[in-house]
Amino acid sequence: MSVTVVGSIAFDAINTPFGERERALGGSAVHFSLAASFFTEVRPVGPVGDDFGPDEYAVLERHGVVTSDIEHVEGGQTFFWSGKYEWDLNTAHTLDTQLNVFGDFEPKLSDASRDSDLLFLANIQPDLQRDVRAQCAAQLAALDSMNFWIESARDSLIQTIAGVDMVLMNDAELRMLTEEPNLVKAATAVRAMGPRVVIAKQGEYGAALFTEDGFFALPAYPLETVRDPTGAGDSFAGGLMGYLDSQGGGLDDATLRRAMTYGSTLASFWVEEFGCERAERLTREEIDERYEHFKRITAIDSVPTTG
Amino acid sequence: MSVTVVGSIAFDAINTPFGERERALGGSAVHFSLAASFFTEVRPVGPVGDDFGPDEYAVLERHGVVTSDIEHVEGGQTFFWSGKYEWDLNTAHTLDTQLNVFGDFEPKLSDASRDSDLLFLANIQPDLQRDVRAQCAAQLAALDSMNFWIESARDSLIQTIAGVDMVLMNDAELRMLTEEPNLVKAATAVRAMGPRVVIAKQGEYGAALFTEDGFFALPAYPLETVRDPTGAGDSFAGGLMGYLDSQGGGLDDATLRRAMTYGSTLASFWVEEFGCERAERLTREEIDERYEHFKRITAIDSVPTTG
**Chain B residues with CB-CB distance to A205 below 8 A:** 202, 205-206, 219
Per-residue pLDDT of chain B (307 residues; tens, 9 = 90+): 999 999 999 999 999 999 999 999 999 999 999 999 999 999 999 999 999 999 999 999 999 999 999 999 999 999 999 999 988 888 889 999 999 999 999 999 999 999 999 999 999 999 999 999 999 999 999 999 999 999 999 999 999 999 999 999 999 999 999 999 999 999 999 999 999 999 999 998 999 999 998 899 999 999 999 999 999 999 999 999 999 999 998 899 999 999 999 999 999 999 999 999 999 999 999 999 999 999 999 999 864 444 4
Helix axes A253-270, A284-298, angle to 10 degrees: 110
Q: Tell me which chain A residue has its CA closest to the CA of residue B89.
A: A181
Distance from CA of A306 to the nearest CA of B (A): 5
Q: What pLDDT is recorded for position A278?
A: 96
Distance from CA of B188 to the nearest CA of A (A): 10
The alpha carbon of residue A228 and the mean position of all alpha carbons in its chain are separated, in whole angstroms, by: 15
Cα–Cα distance for residue pair B19/A243, rounded to 1 Å: 45
**Chain B residues with CB-CB distance to A179 below 8 A:** none
Question: Cβ atoms within 10 A of the Cβ of B133, count?
Answer: 17
CB contact under 8 A, B300 and A294: yes
| Beta-carbon contacts of residue A277 (< 8 Å; ≥ 6 apart) | A24
CB contact under 8 A, B220 and A217: yes
> What are the residues facing B211 on neighbouring strands?
B214
**Chain B residues with CB-CB distance to A215 below 8 A:** 222, 297, 304
**Chain A residues with CB-CB distance to B254 below 8 A:** 301-304
Do B161 and B167 form a contact (C-beta atoms < 8 A)?
yes
Q: Consecutive sets of 10 residues in chain A, 307 residues long: mean pLDDT of each?
A: 97 96 97 98 98 97 97 97 90 93 94 96 97 96 96 97 98 96 96 98 95 93 94 98 95 96 98 96 98 95 54
Cα–Cα distance for residue pair B249/B251, rounded to 1 Å: 6
Distance from CA of A68 to the nearest CA of B (A): 36
CB contact under 8 A, A254 and B220: no
Cα–Cα distance for residue pair A260/A277, rounded to 1 Å: 22
Q: Tell me which chain B residue has its CA closest to the CA of residue A257.
A: B300
- Greatest CA separation found in chain A? 60
CB contact under 8 A, A303 and B253: yes
Cα torsion for B157, B160, B165, B170, to the nearest 10°? Answer: -20
Helices (H) and strands (E) in chain A, counts: 12, 13
Do A280 and A224 form a contact (C-beta atoms < 8 A)?
no
String of b and e for B184-197 (b: at least 16 CB within 10 Å)?
A: bbbbebbbebebeb
String of b and e for A274-285 (b: at least 16 CB within 10 Å)?
A: bbbbbbeebeee
Domains of chain A: 2-298 (3.40.1190.20)
Helices (H) and strands (E) in chain B, counts: 12, 13
Name the residue among A185, A253, A297 with its Cβ closest to that of B224: A185
Q: Tell me which chain B residue has its CA closest to the CA of residue A209.
A: B297
Q: What pLDDT is recorded for position A58?
A: 97
Give the pairing of strands B140-143 and B166-170.
parallel
Distance from CA of A38 to the nearest CA of B (A): 20
**Chain B residues with CB-CB distance to A300 below 8 A:** 218, 257-258, 261, 294-295, 298-299
Give the pairing of strands A79-85 and A92-98.
antiparallel
Question: Cβ atoms within 10 A of the Cβ of A53, count?
Answer: 10
Burial of B214 from C-beta contacts in 10 A (0-12 / 13-18 / 19+): middle
**Which of A205, A213, A293 to mutate to test binding with chain B, by most B CBs within 10 Å of its CB?**
A205
Nearest to A119 by CA among A133, A131, A101: A133
Nearest to B233 by CA among B29, B63, B14, B22: B29
Do B167 and B142 form a contact (C-beta atoms < 8 A)?
yes
Q: What pLDDT is recorded for position A92?
A: 86
CB contact under 8 A, A222 and B208: yes
Cα–Cα distance for residue pair B82/A253, rounded to 1 Å: 44
CB contact under 8 A, A304 and B214: yes
Q: Tell me which chain A residue has its CA closest to the CA of residue B296.
A: A216
Query: Is the ipTM here above 0.85?
Result: yes
| Beta-carbon contacts of residue B88 (< 8 Å; ≥ 6 apart) | A175, A181
Cα–Cα distance for residue pair B278/B286, rounded to 1 Å: 12
**Chain A residues with CB-CB distance to B297 below 8 A:** 214-217
Cα–Cα distance for residue pair A86/A74, rounded to 1 Å: 37
Distance from CA of B297 to the nearest CA of A (A): 5
Q: Tell me which chain A residue has its CA closest to the CA of residue B222.
A: A184
